């Protein structure tokens, strides 16, 4: 199941897609593209995976701590979200009302 993501994750997904498209990549390679530090990048990748926009293909044969990732094709995402009720692809992040 693919779920809509906030704008900041959509922008990260787009940046990664422009570089990797349907190729496999590591978290370290993604962090270089995202450019915000390893912890931020790993969290962003986690949320993309949780939302169904990223697939973890396995682990690096040399270092089992490193994941091998692959992005879901944007057309697949659009079709799946459309089939789920036509929800928007990009949602604004929730803000606290104080």
Is 59 part of a structural domain of the chain? yes
pLDDT at 40: 95
pTM of the model: 0.79
Coil/strand/helix, residue 17: helix
Is 45 part of a structural domain of the chain? yes
- Structural domain boundaries enclosing 77: 5-86
**Running along the chain, 98 residues long, what does each successive block of 10 average in pLDDT?**
91 97 93 93 95 86 77 91 63 51
- Best CA proximity match to 51, nearest among 13, 98, 16, 22: 13
Is 20 part of a structural domain of the chain? yes
**Residue 58 per-residue DSSP state:** E
Is 92 part of a structural domain of the chain? no
Is 93 part of a structural domain of the chain? no
- What does the DSSP assignment read for 68-88? EEEEPPHHHHHHHHHHTT---
Query: Total structural domains in the chain?
Result: 1
Is 17 part of a structural domain of the chain? yes
Question: How far is it, in rounded angstroms, from Cα 88 to Cα 23?
Answer: 26
**CATH number of residue 49's parent domain:** 1.10.10.10
């Amino acid at each position: 199941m693919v779920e809509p993501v906030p704008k900041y994750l959509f922008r990260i997904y787009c940046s990664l897609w422009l570089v990797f498209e349907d190729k496999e990549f590591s978290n370290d390679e993604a962090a270089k593209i995202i450019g915000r530090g390893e912890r931020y990048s790993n969290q962003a990748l986690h949320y993309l995976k949780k939302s169904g926009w990223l697939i973890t293909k396995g682990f690096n044969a040399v270092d089992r701590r490193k994941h091998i990732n692959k992005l879901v094709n944007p057309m697949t995402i659009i079709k799946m979200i459309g089939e789920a009720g036509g929800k928007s692809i990009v949602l604004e992040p929730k803000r606290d009302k104080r």
